[in-house]
């Protein structure tokens, strides 16, 4: 079996990706602080921001391909810690592209829908980027820097993701489920729209990109939805109490990082290649019974 290196295996997306990839690859996953074990995956503690350590990793493993999911992906954290997050989000990403270029192996990068300003959705790959927060800015710099170093990098813009909790990471739905079960009030945006996909679907998209994509690809789900309506769907499928769900607007909530209003992705290019997100209700039903 060929060797696949997955950075950020302890993250939500990285973990789901490893579960899928191990069926066809010998998978090596990296983590930085959240030690974990995944059956049939070789996990390595690596400080990716140390270039010598990163270079050593490549020469030890000699991967046939790399999927780079490691990131500081909390927009509020990036907004308040720009230098620290730049190292992992931009510098490491460009270094990885360079190391993949050295041996001409496929390189897949996970970017974000937050590279857009939310004013002209839905967004195609060819649309102009215009991020409104530092996290989005860093991902744009990484996209450009990686493609400069290695033009055949697959830059995958990921949507909001949800799915079952992993040993070291939650998705955004777990706290919502917990709060609703405990009867706590939830205030949810009615004016922020995304095209969510499950972690499993997103992982399948990344493996597809590894085989078929150079340059930009959007891996959003098929439905544009607000957080408020998403949680209403969650309540219906999981049969949770919904008396405490309140609607709010972005302007009502003070956050460190500004948020775009609508970064729905047009992922028709990926759909044409065989990327097949399920309807959201079906994805949630699969979670309930998995």
Average pLDDT value for residue range 99-104: 98
Residue 82 lies in a domain: yes
Confidence of residue 289 (pLDDT cuts 50, 70, 90): confident
Report whether pLDDT(45) > 90: yes
**Residue 35: what pLDDT?**
86
Report whether pLDDT(243) > 90: no
117 and 180 inside one domain: no
- The H-or-E segment that residue 225 falls in is strand 225-226
66 and 205 inside one domain: yes
**Residue 161: what pLDDT?**
98
25 and 100 inside one domain: yes
The tens digit of pLDDT for each residue in 249-279 reads 999 999 999 999 999 999 999 999 999 999 9
Task: Indicate the SS3 state at residue 290.
Answer: coil
Report whether pLDDT(175) > 90: yes
Report whether pLDDT(236) > 90: yes
The tens digit of pLDDT for each residue in 85-100 reads 999 999 999 999 999 9
Residue 60 lies in a domain: yes
Residue 228 lies in a domain: yes
- Range of 23's domain? 3-161+197-218
Residue 269 lies in a domain: no
Residue 272 lies in a domain: no
The percentage of residues in the chain with a pLDDT greater than 70, rounded to a whole number, is 100
10 and 96 inside one domain: yes
**Domains in the chain, number:** 2
The tens digit of pLDDT for each residue in 20-29 reads 999 999 999 9
Confidence of residue 216 (pLDDT cuts 50, 70, 90): very high
CB 26 within 8 A of CB 61: no
User: Which CATH number do you get for residue 47?
Assistant: 3.40.50.720
**Residue 282: what pLDDT?**
97
152 and 9 inside one domain: yes
Complete DSSP assignment for 131-195 = -SSHHHHHHHHHHHHHHHH-TT-EEEEE--EE-PPPSS---THHHHHHHHHTT--EEEESS-EE-
155 and 247 inside one domain: no
Report whether pLDDT(2) > 90: yes
pTM (predicted TM-score): 0.97
Average pLDDT value for residue range 37-41: 94
Q: How far is CA 151 from CA 58, 71, 127, 167, 215, in A?
A: 19, 21, 18, 35, 7
Residue 120 lies in a domain: yes
Residue 78 lies in a domain: yes
Q: What is the mean pLDDT of the chain?
A: 97
Report whether pLDDT(290) > 90: no
**Residue 162: what pLDDT?**
98
Tell me the CA end-to-end span of the chain in Å, nearest whole number: 28
96 and 229 inside one domain: no
Average pLDDT value for residue range 187-203: 97
Residue 187 lies in a domain: yes
201 and 236 inside one domain: no
187 and 107 inside one domain: no
| Interacting residues of 56 by C-beta distance below 8 A, sequence separation 6+ | none
Average pLDDT value for residue range 226-238: 96
109 and 36 inside one domain: yes
134 and 189 inside one domain: no
The percentage of residues in the chain with a pLDDT greater than 90, rounded to a whole number, is 97
The tens digit of pLDDT for each residue in 49-63 reads 999 999 999 999 999
**From the CB of residue 238, how many other CB atoms can be counted at a distance below 10 Å?**
16
89 and 180 inside one domain: no
User: Which CATH number do you get for residue 180?
Assistant: 3.90.25.10
């Amino acid at each position: 079996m060929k060797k696949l290196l997955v950075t950020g295996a302890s993250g939500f997306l990285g973990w789901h990706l490893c579960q899928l990839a191990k069926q066809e690859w010998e998978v090596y996953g990296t983590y930085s602080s959240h030690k974990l074990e995944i059956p049939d995956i070789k996990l390595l503690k690596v400080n990716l921001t140390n270039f010598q350590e990163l270079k050593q990793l490549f020469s030890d493993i000699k991967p046939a391909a790399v999927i780079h999911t490691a990131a500081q992906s909390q927009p509020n954290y990036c907004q308040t810690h720009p230098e620290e997050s730049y190292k992992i989000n931009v510098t490491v990403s460009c270094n990885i592209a360079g190391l993949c270029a050295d041996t001409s192996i496929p390189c897949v990068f996970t970017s974000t829908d937050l590279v857009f300003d939310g004013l002209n959705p839905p967004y195609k790959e060819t649309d102009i980027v215009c991020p409104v927060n530092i996290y989005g800015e860093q991902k744009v710099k990484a996209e450009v820097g990686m493609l400069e170093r290695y033009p055949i990098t697959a830059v995958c813009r990921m949507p909001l993701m949800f799915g079952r909790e992993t040993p070291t990471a939650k998705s955004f739905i777990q706290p919502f489920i917990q709060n609703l079960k405990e009867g706590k009030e939830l205030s949810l945006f009615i004016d922020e729209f995304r095209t969510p996909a499950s972690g499993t679907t997103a992982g399948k998209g990344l493996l597809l990109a590894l085989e078929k994509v150079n340059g930009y690809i959007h891996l959003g789900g098929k439905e544009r939805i607000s957080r408020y309506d998403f949680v209403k769907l969650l309540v219906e499928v999981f049969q949770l109490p919904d008396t405490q769900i309140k609607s709010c607007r972005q302007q009502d909530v003070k956050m460190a990082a500004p948020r775009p209003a609508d970064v729905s992705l047009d992922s028709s290019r990926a759909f044409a290649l065989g990327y097949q997100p399920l309807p959201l209700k079906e994805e949630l039903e699969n979670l309930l019974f998995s």
